[in-house]
């Protein structure tokens, strides 16, 4: 079993949305869905919505565990990979940088190698080009703004957003689960 844990560098930066999108993508395209664990299961389930039927479940685990803390990062890195999400705003990017600095200080390069930073344009702003080439950037998509179940808005995503998630983000997810084995 491998684990992929999502933590937000700050509140309201798109962590729950990205975790729900990830679960939907895995179910839709990979035909396997990990067990999902959330710090607030009610909120996560409401954002996730209905999953498509899958041929089989995997033993892997996808966790959405709220705001970043060193203890949560230690647990995540001990079990698999960590995704740290920051909003593409000055405050969000500063919070993301602080979380990455903390990971480097506490867990060294090995921890950073198992961590993927993500910038979410949750507020319609583009942020700045990431200093770290590994940083993934989720573009602003107005379909995701109102909240509600991700399953309901997947068909309404901009073509570029859907293509980027399928062609760039889905391989990241698959690689993260495969690398933890």
Domain count along the chain: 1
| Number of C-beta neighbours around residue 103 at 10 A | 25
The model's pLDDT over 91-101, given as tens digits with 9 standing for 90+, comes to 988 999 999 99
SS3 155: helix
Range of the domain at 46: 3-179
The C-alpha atoms of residue 101 and residue 55 are separated, in whole angstroms, by 40
How far are the Cα atoms of 18, 55, 103 from residue 76, in angstroms, in the given order? 17, 27, 11
C-alpha of 75 from chain center: 16
Sorted by sequence, the CB contacts under 8 Å of residue 162 that are 6+ apart come out as: 154
Whether the full predicted model's pTM is greater than 0.85, yes or no, is yes
What's 84's domain CATH number? 3.40.50.300
The whole-angstrom separation of Cα 155 and Cα 159 is 9
Below-70 pLDDT ranges, the chain: 31, 54-56, 123-133, 179-181
């Amino acid at each position: 079993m491998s684990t992929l844990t999502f933590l937000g560098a700050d509140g309201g930066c798109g962590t729950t949305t990205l975790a729900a999108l990830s679960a939907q993508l895995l179910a839709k395209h990979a035909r396997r869905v990990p067990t999902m664990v959330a710090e607030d299961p009610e909120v996560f389930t409401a954002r996730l919505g209905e999953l498509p039927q899958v041929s089989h479940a995997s033993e892997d685990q996808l966790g959405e565990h709220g705001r970043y803390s060193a203890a949560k990062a230690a647990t995540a890195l001990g079990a698999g990979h960590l995704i740290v999400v920051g909003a593409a705003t000055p405050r969000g990017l500063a919070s993301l940088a602080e979380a990455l600095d903390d990971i480097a200080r506490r867990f060294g390069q090995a921890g950073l190698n198992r961590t993927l930073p993500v910038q979410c344009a949750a507020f319609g702003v583009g942020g700045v080009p990431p200093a770290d080439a590994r940083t993934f950037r989720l573009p602003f998509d107005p379909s995701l703004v109102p909240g509600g179940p991700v399953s309901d808005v997947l068909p309404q995503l901009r073509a570029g957003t859907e293509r980027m998630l399928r062609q760039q983000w889905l391989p990241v997810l698959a690689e993260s689960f495969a690398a933890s084995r």
